[in-house]
Structure 1
Amino acid sequence: MELFEKTGKIALGSRLRYMASNVTDEAARLHELYQIDFAPKWFPVFFVLSEGDCKTITDIANEIGHSQPSVTKIVKEMINAGLVEDNLRSQDKRRNMVGLTKQGKALWERMRIQCIDIDHAIDGIIQEATHNLWEALAEWEFLLEQKSLLKRVQEQKKIRESKDVRVVPYQAEYRQAFKSLNEEWISTYFEMEETDHKALDNPEEYILAKGGKILVALYNNEPLGVCSLIKMDHPEFDYELAKMAVSPKAQGKSVGTILGRAIIEEAKTLGASKLYLESNTILKPAINLYHKLGFQKITGYPSPYQRCNIQMELDLRNS
């Protein structure tokens, strides 16, 4: 259809439904051609039962990928048509089963001839076509089972939005954002401590004047993420990665990852060989991000924060 040429791939579902509708209409006419009174939507259930064994509604639903209510409705229609019987007992007599009646089994024998003709007709289309739709559908089904279309679109949305994230050096105009973003997450999970107030009330004096750095992540020019390097007087570590905070509004835009990578590059520019950080394992997304950035868990260092229960390091000489 010309419509799908205009819409492009965004109308994949509509195009598949259009094609499925046409094929279903053709299937009804095919049954008429062979003088078989049969509804096309019954075929998956009918085929499964034609293999010989009686089955439960649940077994059929799992096998054909339909919901149990859908299968129940189809089975009732087929019972009314005289093709299926229910209330059959399993060998352990604990489960109700459904199976084909004699009429249903006889109909299946008639449909075998029809199926052979249909197979040959479809093979002809496959030979005429440039692409094998049957094999392509199987491949698409496999790929979508591995990762759904929703997940794939979410990833593309994240990639697109992350391109609009800019990381800039700290300026006085971002002082309030630096404070409020950090206060937001600290107050959500913990209580503000003395060291927090020192760093957040006057970052210029506490961080920048001592040789540290602060970076700000902007999305559409709005500061939605901050992170700092605090110069350490320590024999092993050069800087502490601290006061990293990302607004909930930035969720799904990779702001944390972009900001983390930027602050690590800043540390390398400053000649740092090792970074140190402190956190709490209750902050699972943050801990996952630190691992993603290459930080490893360490122990044994005193902390000014009561909330700290994990310490990590990043050896920049190996990255």
Structure 2
Amino acid sequence: MDLFNRTGKMALGSRLRLLTAKVTDDASKIYELYNVENFSPKWFPVFFVLHEESNQTITEIAEQIGHSQPSVTKIIKEMLKAGLVEDNLKSSDKRRNIVGLTAKGKQLAERMVTVQCADIDLAIDGIIEEATHNLWEALAEWEHLFEQKSLLSRVKEQKKARESKNVKIVDYEPKYQSAFKALNEEWISTYFVMEDADYKALDNPEEYILNKGGKILVALYNDEPLGVCALIKMDDPDYDFELAKMAVSPRAQGKNLGWLLGQAIISKAKEAGASKIYLESNTILKPAINLYYKLGFKKVSGRLTPYQRCNIQMELDIKN
């Protein structure tokens, strides 16, 4: 259809639904062709698995055909009215509702599998031979790919990649001091209480961080400072720097600012000849913790901390 040439791949779902509607419409007529009356095409997956192995639970059927339990329950109720299945069959576990084909259902299944299904298989094989691409194999491949990563996840990645192009990581300048403080105050005050160590770093970043050999980076999104991160020089035999004061505005979430800031600040540490970076956080901040793990940080414990809110400590060995 010309519509799909105009919409492009965005209309994938609509195109698949249209194709499914055409096949389903033909399927109803095919059942009539073989004198199978009042059989809904949507019943076939349930009908088939019960033909292969009768007496199964709703859960077992749902797992095999990839449907939800409520969906299978609805289909079973419809098939009960048609006299094709029976439920509440005898089971060693009385809590399990066992479903099986009736004598009518078994008779119909044998007729469908031996005659109707064979003709349909040959017809579809003919389409595959005529076609340039094997749709049956392609569907299996696409299903596998969607199991690995959903279409939603893939679109989110593309959205993030596009929006990331508008992100610029720059070195701290005095004009960014208010943003450095405001962004950190925002998340700290949302979850915790500002502490003395916070005020020292945020009110006097030059004195507390930069003049001691540390670094501060600012993430600009469309030239607006919406993310910050600092490397604080540590007087410690185990660590060279502490990654601290990372904050991203809620308005910029989903735009990859945290990941880009993290990568950039680690690069700054490498340029300074660092071997290990340390950080402190709180596990309530799940997106931040996930980001640190993604950046390569690993959990450590046993160090003293000036922050009451700290309940997790992590390190990154950048020499490895």
TM-score (norm 2): 0.86
Which stretch shows the higher mean deviation, 99-108 or 110-119? 99-108
Provide structure 2 residue ranges, at least 5 long, that are not aligned to the other structure: none
Q: CA separation in 2, counterparts of 1:312 and 1:106? A: 65
Whether the 8 Å CA contact 1:89–1:95 is kept in 2: the answer is no
Q: Does 1:32 align with 2:27?
A: no
Q: CA separation in 2, counterparts of 1:283 and 1:92? A: 44
Q: 2:175 aligns with which of 170, 173, 177?
A: 173
The change in CA–CA distance for 1:215 and 1:119 in structure 2 (over 3 A counts) is: same
1:18 CA displacement: 0.7
Structure 2 residue aligned with 1:244: 246
1:126-275 to 2 correspondences below 5 Å = 126-233=128-235, 237-275=239-277
The change in CA–CA distance for 1:70 and 1:162 in structure 2 (over 3 A counts) is: same
Structure 2 residue aligned with 1:11: 11
Structure 1 residue aligned with 2:51: 50
Structure 2 residue aligned with 1:71: 72
Whether the 8 Å CA contact 2:218–2:228 is kept in 1: the answer is yes
Q: CA separation in 1, counterparts of 2:280 and 2:69? A: 51
Q: Secondary structure of 1:82's partner?
A: coil
Which stretch shows the higher mean deviation, 5-14 or 43-52? 43-52
Q: Deviations over 1:257-277 (max 9, x none)?
A: 211221222233345455444
1:13 CA displacement: 1.1
Q: CA separation in 1, counterparts of 2:280 and 2:94? A: 62
1:153 CA displacement: 1.7
The change in CA–CA distance for 1:72 and 1:298 in structure 2 (over 3 A counts) is: closer
Which protein has the larger Cα radius of gyration, Structure 1 or Structure 2?
Answer: 1
Q: How many residues are treated as equivalent by the alignment? A: 318
The change in CA–CA distance for 1:56 and 1:297 in structure 2 (over 3 A counts) is: closer
Provide structure 1 residue ranges, at least 5 long, that are not aligned to the other structure: none
The change in CA–CA distance for 1:189 and 1:80 in structure 2 (over 3 A counts) is: closer
1:167 CA displacement: 0.7
1:46 CA displacement: 1.9
Structure 2 residue aligned with 1:114: 116
Letter in 2 for 1:204: E
Q: CA separation in 2, counterparts of 1:184 and 1:143? A: 40
Q: CA separation in 1, counterparts of 2:43 and 2:286? A: 48
Q: CA separation in 1, counterparts of 2:266 and 2:254? A: 21
Q: Deviations over 1:122-142 (max 9, x none)?
A: 111111212211121112212
Identity of aligned residues (%): 72
1:92 CA displacement: 5.2
Q: CA separation in 2, counterparts of 1:143 and 1:239? A: 41
1:177 CA displacement: 0.8
The change in CA–CA distance for 1:61 and 1:271 in structure 2 (over 3 A counts) is: closer
Q: Does 1:100 align with 2:101?
A: yes
Q: Deviations over 1:215-239 (max 9, x none)?
A: 1111122211111233445566544
**What RMSD over aligned residues (CA atoms) do the two structures have, in Å?**
2.8
Q: CA separation in 2, counterparts of 1:47 and 1:314? A: 54
Q: Deviations over 1:261-303 (max 9, x none)?
A: 2122223334545544444455444344334434455567654
